[in-house]
Amino acid sequence: MTTLKVGDKAPNFSAQDQDGNTINLEAYAGKKLVIFFYPKASTPGCTAEACNLKDNYQVFQEQGFEIIGVSADSAKRQQNFKNKYELPYPLLADEDKSVIEAFGVWGPKKFMGKEYDGIHRTTFVIDEVGIISEVISKVKTKDHAAQIL
């Protein structure tokens, strides 16, 4: 789905998180960043993925990684998701899909025989200088941290 690949410069982005704070790529300069795109907050697969990353958050921190979650949900929905599962990282409320489209993860999907447009569950690992070092398109929601680390 995405046209971005390992070695590409990560798209610059700027979006509001669940608390209305502006988050952008520049803020993470000099740090490794995991940015994961998920279809919908508080759904079973997205909850499993977000909680798996939360459960391994300390390991990510020890290895110098920051984490950001992104979906097209509203800030209120993201805030509820973050609070309910005590997620330690920001969730971007990308309602206009500017970040989602910049990373190329919006497109046609199929579910139970129906076709529709939606977010493809994809994770990007970005290095300290803003270059994509890994693209994970076959995300294992319950074991995603191991896929990244």
Active-site annotation holder among 15, 25, 41, 46 = 46
In the chain, what percentage of residues exceed pLDDT 70? Answer: 99
Whole-prediction pTM value?
A: 0.95
Q: Given a cut of 90, is residue 71 above it in pLDDT? A: yes
Q: Annotated catalytic, 51?
A: no
DSSP secondary structure string for all residues of the chain: -----TTSBPPP-EEEBTTS-EEEGGGGTTSEEEEEE-S-TTSHHHHHHHHHHHHTHHHHHHTTEEEEEEES--HHHHHHHHHHTT-SS-EEE-TT-HHHHHTT-EEEEEETTEEEEEE--EEEEE-TTSBEEEEE-S--GGGHHHHH-
